Amino acid sequence: MPNFRCILKDPKSFARRGELQLAHGKLQTPVFMPVGTYGAVRGLSASDLESTGASIMLSNTFHMISRPGIDVIESVGGLHRFNNWSRPILTDSGGFQVFSLAKKRKLSDEGVGFKDPFDGREIIFTPENVVGFQERWGSDVMMVLDECPPADAASQHILQAVERTTAWARLAKEAHQKKELALFPIVQGACDIEMRKKSLKDLLAIEESKEPWQGVAIGGLSVGESKLDFVRTLYELRGLLPSDRPRYLMGVGTPRDLVFGVACGIDMFDCVIPSRNARHGIIMTSEGRLNLMNNQFREDARPLDEASDCPVSAQYSRAFVRHLFQIGETLGPRIATIHNVRYFVSLMARIREHLEQGDFLDFAWEFLRDPRTQYLGKEAGFQDYPLDYEGPRLRKLST
């Protein structure tokens, strides 16, 4: 049975330091999960991923059902045997595809039917079979099927999505057989805080006659809302989520998002940003965001990041990695991906250290005001929502 232990709570914010014991290992939280949609982070072997220090990875249930299929994965002994990853795996439920494949799905109270983008066949997801798929291949953390409404959805659509997500969560809870595998419900509600509160209340009510959920996730953010709405919604949810289990913010985000999320009490994060941007030559360093495609790095003999403890960063110069991208050599994206994943994993390790030292809030404010920590655009909005218990502050963060 999965077990979460809160080691310490930050007295100046909602951040906390914890441990989560799962079927395939123990996680130190807060934790970042690299995304391996089809069972592997693009371009990386399991040993490559291990070298970054990643303790858990995420895979996508919809895409894995599409290719290679549940029967293939089960026939070779489950997902861990299939992809040679011995550490924990979290699999999402397909709820994001309800949003992202809106033109290729049929949604009803019973579930959702997708048209497979590769061969056109129909894929049926129900609350029950989604749990069954994840149990059959042995996910350490399984997500319930949910409906993720668009950021600009009308109030009635948001309410419908919240109520359907709750109904599906109830059915998923009934279908959960392998108790050694954790099952998380997903709080929906777009950027409407009252809908978020309703979703959370209704999901927790399911526990009254059953075993508790082993964690709680926040879904439906980073799906097109403004950065200000994202920050406001996450800030207003702080302190509302249960404190006796891990809290997971799905599909988020940039380095600043992670630091702000931890301050709001989040324990688990995943995002494609480090690997997706790496494939385009965008890397994150202690000096800030670098675009290796820029000509300024053509003769730059420095490593990708002189301050990084990533062995890849020490072995190759910016000029060489840029050269690899220029000629289409796949080693370039691989090096950049290892580097970026290591940056995100190391950031979470730094956060845990500052929590243990008792100076996390100072670190967080400094990180959010440092122009070098921007990853995508201006990333404004954090300054309007103070991270601590003291109420609004007069000082502003630069963007």
Q: What is the DSSP string of 201-260?
A: HHHHHGGGGSPPPS-EEE-S-SSS--HHHHHHHHHHHTTTS-SSS-EEETTB--HHHHHH
pLDDT tens-place string over residues 319-336: 999 999 999 999 999 999
pLDDT at 386: 67
Q: What is the largest CA-CA distance in the chain?
A: 65
Question: Is the predicted pLDDT of residue 389 greater than 60, yes or no?
Answer: no
DSSP per-residue codes, 81-115:
HHHT--S-EEE--SHHHHHHTGGGEEEETTEEEEE
Report DSSP state, residue 290: E
pLDDT tens-place string over residues 50-68: 999 999 999 999 999 999 9
CA distances from 396 to 93, 304, 380 (A): 39, 31, 11
Q: For 304, what's the count of Cα atoms within 13 Å in the CB-facing half-sphere?
A: 32
Question: Is the predicted pLDDT of residue 108 greater than 70, yes or no?
Answer: yes
94 against 39, higher pLDDT? 39
Closest C-alpha to 66, from 120, 112, 5 = 120
Is 246 in contact with 20 (CB distance < 8 Å)? yes
CA pair distance 350, 339, nearest whole angstrom: 16
Q: How confident is the model at residue 392 (pLDDT cuts 50, 70, 90)?
A: very low
Total-model pTM: 0.95
Question: Is the predicted pLDDT of residue 300 greater than 90, yes or no?
Answer: yes
Give me the mean pLDDT over the 58-87 stretch.
Answer: 96
Q: Which two tokens stand for residue 280?
A: 């385009």
pLDDT at 98: 65
Which CATH superfamily does the domain covering 3-277 fall into?
Answer: Queuine tRNA-ribosyltransferase-like (3.20.20.105)
Mean pLDDT score of the chain, rounded to an integer?
92
Question: Is the predicted pLDDT of residue 81 greater than 80, yes or no?
Answer: yes
Q: Is the peptide bond before 333 cis (omega within 30 degrees of 0)?
A: no
Which residues are bridge partners to 248 per DSSP?
217, 268
Question: Which entry of 140, 192, 202, 270 is annotated as an active-site residue?
Answer: 270
Question: Which entry of 10, 92, 267, 305 is annotated as an active-site residue?
Answer: 92
Query: What interhelical angle do 155-175 and 193-205 show, nearest 10?
Result: 20
pLDDT at 397: 34
Q: Is the peptide bond before 274 cis (omega within 30 degrees of 0)?
A: no
Q: Tokens 């807060």, residue?
A: 30
Q: Among this protein's residues, is 384 annotated catalytic?
A: no
Which residues fall within 8 angstroms of residue 296, CB to CB, at 6 or more apart?
A: none
Counting residues of the chain whose pLDDT is more than 90, the rounded percentage is 82
> Quick one: CA torsion of 186, 190, 193, 197, rounded to 10 degrees?
-20
Report DSSP state, residue 318: H
CA pair distance 309, 314, nearest whole angstrom: 8
Is 234 in contact with 264 (CB distance < 8 Å)? yes
Closest C-alpha to 27, from 48, 41, 6 = 6
pLDDT at 395: 36
CA pair distance 350, 347, nearest whole angstrom: 5
Give me the mean pLDDT over the 10-28 stretch.
Answer: 96
Q: How confident is the model at residue 99 (pLDDT cuts 50, 70, 90)?
A: low
Lowest mean pLDDT among 34-43, 153-162, 330-339, 387-396: 387-396
Q: Which strand (E) or helix (H) includes residue 116?
A: none
Q: Among this protein's residues, is 267 annotated catalytic?
A: no
3-class state of residue 280 by DSSP: coil
| Domains in the chain: boundaries | 3-277
Find which of 85-99, 189-203, 385-399 is predicted with most confidence, using mean pLDDT. 189-203
Give 3-state DSSP helix, strand, coil % of the chain, rounded to 5.
Answer: 40, 20, 40
Which residues fall within 8 angstroms of residue 107, CB to CB, at 6 or more apart?
A: 98, 147
Give me the mean pLDDT over the 74-81 stretch.
Answer: 98
Q: Is residue 394 classed exposed, middle or buried when 0-12, 13-18 and 19+ CB atoms within 10 A define those classes?
A: exposed
Q: Which strand (E) or helix (H) includes residue 285?
A: strand 282-285
Which residues fall within 8 angstroms of residue 65, CB to CB, at 6 or more apart?
A: 94, 123, 133
